Amino acid sequence: MDIGYARVSTTKQDLARQLDALAAAGIEAEHIYVDKKSGATTNRPGLQEAMRHARAGDVIVVHTLDRFGRTVRDTLNLVHELKERDIGIRTLADPLAIDTTAPDSSMAQLAFVMLALFAEMERTYSAERVAHARAVATANGRRTGRPSVVDPDKLEHAAMLREKGVPMREITAKTGLARTTLYRHLPPRFVHDPANLGGIDTET
């Protein structure tokens, strides 16, 4: 029996293309398992369920190999585990055909290793691009990451207390805002100190 598996990295991404391809390959909906998880995480209940239902002679079918394993090592380990159970893997849309049920095909085996490697390289490049974009944004004074959810009224109250010279520890107690949050949203306060070339931070 063919068992389908589909994965997207976030809940905002669409599984439709992968599901359509698996359906077109003749796999029934009740035999298709899905995850909306990053490939980097080990917590993939859909994949675990697919592997749990697979029996000797079955084939797990994925749209492309990068939907299956997290890294080259992880992919090879999964394939080895399935091979020990006499379960194959087949991809539908990779440029090089992958079908581990054809063990005598040297090209199929080479294609498998190459595509696993390329998938891992692409994840590395993607992480580097994100890190670079974040660094550029930070250098240009732009905030990155999730939007702030700090209560604006509490922040305004904190700013008012700060202008009055209230110590940071009292501001955190009065507003309920964490010290790290206040440091992030309020500018540092300095007082003149000739020994410090113009000022020292009075954060307390």
How many Å apart are CA 154 and CA 162, to the nearest integer?
12
Is 126 one of the catalytic residues?
no
The string of DSSP codes covering 165-180 is T--HHHHHHHH---HH
* Phi, psi of 130, rounded to the nearest 5 degrees: -65, -45
Q: Within 13 Å, how many C-alpha atoms sit on residue 132's CB side?
A: 6
Q: Which of 9, 106, 126, 148 is catalytic?
A: 9
Distance of CA 40 to the CA centre of its chain: 6
Question: Which residues are annotated as catalytic?
Answer: 9
